[in-house]
Structure 1
């Protein structure tokens, strides 16, 4: 925040009744002085009703002098603060009398403080009465609870005093700074009981990459505002860790800004600010009208109600001063209301470019390699994450950091416990922000999105409205409502269980769109104690074949499933099917060696399993036969296929017997054993007819045509090709028809 110029009246001094020393006797003497001042101002009580409770409380304290002395150490602190409260209230009353002000003429912030003060004073009065009425023995038993309440009110009074002083002195301090900038001698420095402090100085960022365009845009907005009639009002928006504070400091310390504003540049740190009262105190400390910390309980008290609007109201008071240029940083993409922001507004910050992220790493870590490259990509080029990882890389190699990242994600990316040194802390600040607390459904939605790495596609919003039926918009990231979680899990398990070959086109497209979200949900369920484990594993097996079919050969999900099953008591047949899916994944990825290792492992399990599942064993043997055929090991392929055929005969599987005969046909053709190939095709055709497989019959006729062609039996070859064409038309196989026409055209 910057100051240019401002004129106005001098501040009105604030009465002070703060006692010197720590004794209760001195405190009570001061209370009597305060009471005298209050009695003198008694004519104001009807107009400012907050003085009456203060006077009543002080009278009660004086009549209970002995009780106060029994707990003198704790009550002494409270007494001193009550004296200061009395002085401030008298000051308000005298100002109202001097300027003929009514209660509603007071600034909203001051009215809010006085209301809060009345509640605190009433509570203290009740506590004193309670202490006076109970007997000595009971008082001894309740002493711990009474002292806890005394300390609670002590903390609240401390914060009331700080905020009260800030409210009364802030506008006056603005005026003094403005007059100093104009060369006008400053008036009285303000109240004698306000301790001035050295404001926090902005510091120039040592590492600054990738924000030059935003810096230039902000500087232009500020300079145009100075030359014009209205100073700039700028909000730097963006998620946590995107470098908003770094950019703001770069602006504050830029030579052009220093030349224009000199010493009237002020930086207010607000990471611990959750209310307008707390922000007011920080402003006062920044301007040098208040010193000391603010107890966290004040923030919690004033966070209640519509906190966002009260903060926005305070910003409006600041921006109402025509001498002030305002630059704020704020998480999110919405600027505070009630303030007319400079247009065109600064766009919310994006992540860094790849080159800028690399520059940051090289400037800090100086050991950029392939692992570092993968790390900056993994954190989406977020400035804070890149910077913290680069600092960690000074002591740990990027390769080890990458391994740690894959295991622990954001938990290990930290160098301290502040929002600029701890990635999880920065994220938590966003979750705990006022706007999030004011909108519980937004937090629920964030919990939902935390489970879905690809988010929710706009084309799928209708589907998710059915799942999240009670959410006003379409937990903490770690704690999401079980109702929403169960709905999401059921949705994605059902989606993963869909047979992609039988799914309607719209569902197949949805499965493709949701592939990463589906993986994430299935991964989470594997790690949990999901009730229906068999349904989960079946869904994972089906989903593995689906994502392999669209060219995604990642084996992380299926490998984790196998590892989980091996660690728990489980059905051997389920483990076999998972290993089989894993082997098929390698096969389709053209990793034949690993595919063969997995399939041989599966065959070993089939042979050693006490459960005689001949159909499953036969499937595995057919998979092995395909692998051997791909390698050119034709004899091994034939042996495996013959074994599969025998097992399918035992299982009486008609369709699989047809497929086994078809597999033997292909092997015999490659071995040039044409008579055996013809016999196998004939057998396959017989079983495909029984199974009513139109496409199977088409392929068999096509295979017979190829065999007859090699045997130079051209008439039979042509007849087989034409028969195949008929079945391909029935099956609506465009590719099959095309190949048949090609064969007919080439050979006949």
Structure 2
């Protein structure tokens, strides 16, 4: 579906706050002139909305929580969580929610995987909202463009690509701080980890980082992909191997669809997580998705974090805080390392207050970085 972008509408009527004077708009409340930006036709815009996920279970509460934030005005929302947790799927569901789409006819979904710096992110956003990327393009041009347009929703998917590197983080946060100066702009980002970028007043209440699917939702996802005739005991065993991580459930269900549950279980005994890593990108290769998190500068810059992760990979029951201290582990800055694993969503605290790692992550770490 093509977003009804204002990029082809140069005749939008100003509201009562605006007066148009010879090619400029005069803001009678702010008392300064905003030059009108010449906007290319929609054929030059990249503003095409992705289809919503047709198989989408177990996120009704999260979806309702986000939609509720939209009822309060133009929110700034961060959808957080580990790799493969369905952040993008939730963002797409929000984009196509009837309430949200009715309020924001102009919606833009920007996959930012290819933007590793602020200038690249700026150019990418500009091209999606209908501006021609140029060498002299700056943040203020984008902000003016959005100020002059109707209310819109901007989704920045996988923002960690440009935010994660320390040498670009401050610039990316500064860019976002300018973007949210637009009153009628609703901003939603998806990002790996549990941290929200600074310099943005995120709308309360915050959405907690996404967790694995409820068992019933994982089972329904599996059935939608692989059908319901497979032996239930084998299906349950396969789902336990995924720890109900959405991406892992999706990948293992597709394998079962054409190989059968017994054959996939037999292959798992020999291949383990490699079985789910035949694809060429993070959406079809579970290890590729996990490795992105393992390459995070937050993880690599913290001495001891990978060592603690390696230890947790062989402890399915995890560690309590007391055990973490009393064991006197030869791990540098162990409390800071614990914090790093939590901030990157490579580990989590379970209901028993134990520090644990999901099964697929444990399998990959045992294979790629076993404890010494």
- When normalised by structure 2's length, the TM-score is 0.69
* 1:310 corresponding residue in structure 2: 171
1:304 Cα deviation after fit: 6.1
Structure 2 counterpart of 1:233, from 61, 76, 90: 76
Structure 1 counterpart of 2:49, from 183, 201, 204: 201
Relative to structure 1, is the Cα distance of residues 318 and 435 closer, same or farther in structure 2, using a 3 angstrom cutoff?
farther
Relative to structure 1, is the Cα distance of residues 291 and 433 closer, same or farther in structure 2, using a 3 angstrom cutoff?
farther
1:374 Cα deviation after fit: 0.5
* 2:258 corresponding residue in structure 1: 395
Query: Is the 1:242–1:349 contact (alpha carbons within 8 Å) kept by the matching residues of 2?
Result: yes
The answer to whether 1:282 aligns with 2:131 is no
Q: Distance in 2 between matches of 1:211 and 1:302?
A: 26
Q: Distance in 2 between matches of 1:434 and 1:286?
A: 28
* 1:213 corresponding residue in structure 2: 61
Structure 1 counterpart of 2:107, from 262, 265, 271: 265
Q: Distance in 2 between matches of 1:463 and 1:326?
A: 45
| Bigger share in helix | 1
Relative to structure 1, is the Cα distance of residues 174 and 450 closer, same or farther in structure 2, using a 3 angstrom cutoff?
farther
**Greater relative CO (CA pairs within 8 A, separation 6+):** 2
Q: Distance in 1 between matches of 2:246 and 2:10?
A: 36
Number of equivalences: 296
Q: Distance in 1 between matches of 2:223 and 2:277?
A: 19
* 1:577 corresponding residue in structure 2: none
* 1:419 corresponding residue in structure 2: 282
Q: Distance in 1 between matches of 2:162 and 2:57?
A: 40
- Answer with 271-280 or 251-260: which moved more: 271-280
Q: Distance in 2 between matches of 1:238 and 1:458?
A: 22
Structure 1 counterpart of 2:94, from 251, 255, 270: 251
1:431 Cα deviation after fit: 1.8
Query: Is the 1:388–1:413 contact (alpha carbons within 8 Å) kept by the matching residues of 2?
Result: yes
Query: Is the 2:282–2:288 contact (alpha carbons within 8 Å) kept by the matching residues of 1?
Result: yes
1:238 Cα deviation after fit: 1.1
Deviation digits for residues 503-536 of structure 1 (CA, Å, limit 9, x no counterpart): xxxxxxxxxxx9xxxxx9xxx8xxx9x9xxxxxx
SS at match of 1:395: helix
Instruction: Write the mapping of 1:567-578 to structure 2, written as runs, cut at 5 A.
Output: none
Q: Distance in 1 between matches of 2:220 and 2:262?
A: 19
SS at match of 2:319: coil
Q: Distance in 2 between matches of 1:418 and 1:280?
A: 24
Relative to structure 1, is the Cα distance of residues 175 and 338 closer, same or farther in structure 2, using a 3 angstrom cutoff?
farther
1:279 Cα deviation after fit: 2.2
Instruction: Write the mapping of 1:23-62 to structure 2, written as runs, cut at 5 A.
Output: none
1:415 Cα deviation after fit: 5.6
Q: Distance in 2 between matches of 1:275 and 1:451?
A: 37
Relative to structure 1, is the Cα distance of residues 205 and 175 closer, same or farther in structure 2, using a 3 angstrom cutoff?
closer
* 1:189 corresponding residue in structure 2: 38
1:402 Cα deviation after fit: 1.4
1:354 Cα deviation after fit: 1.0
Q: Distance in 1 between matches of 2:83 and 2:95?
A: 20
1:470 Cα deviation after fit: 5.3
* 1:365 corresponding residue in structure 2: 226
Query: Is the 2:274–2:287 contact (alpha carbons within 8 Å) kept by the matching residues of 1?
Result: yes
Deviation digits for residues 679-701 of structure 1 (CA, Å, limit 9, x no counterpart): xxxxxxxxxxxxxxxxxxxxxxx
Query: Is the 1:308–1:435 contact (alpha carbons within 8 Å) kept by the matching residues of 2?
Result: no
Q: Structure 2: 5+ residue runs without aligned partners?
A: 24-35, 135-159, 338-355, 357-361
Q: Distance in 1 between matches of 2:189 and 2:161?
A: 23
SS at match of 1:282: helix
SS at match of 1:267: strand
SS at match of 1:308: helix
The answer to whether 1:376 aligns with 2:225 is no
1:233 Cα deviation after fit: 1.0
Q: Distance in 1 between matches of 2:163 and 2:83?
A: 24
Higher Rg of the two aligned structures? 1
SS at match of 1:266: strand
* 1:407 corresponding residue in structure 2: 270
Instruction: Write the mapping of 1:584-599 to structure 2, written as runs, cut at 5 A.
Output: none
Q: Distance in 1 between matches of 2:163 and 2:71?
A: 37
Query: Is the 1:202–1:253 contact (alpha carbons within 8 Å) kept by the matching residues of 2?
Result: no
1:330 Cα deviation after fit: 1.2
SS at match of 1:200: coil
| Bigger share in strand | 2
Q: Distance in 1 between matches of 2:309 and 2:174?
A: 28
Relative to structure 1, is the Cα distance of residues 470 and 325 closer, same or farther in structure 2, using a 3 angstrom cutoff?
closer
SS at match of 2:298: helix
Relative to structure 1, is the Cα distance of residues 372 and 178 closer, same or farther in structure 2, using a 3 angstrom cutoff?
farther
* 2:313 corresponding residue in structure 1: 450
1:464 Cα deviation after fit: 4.5
1:368 Cα deviation after fit: 3.5
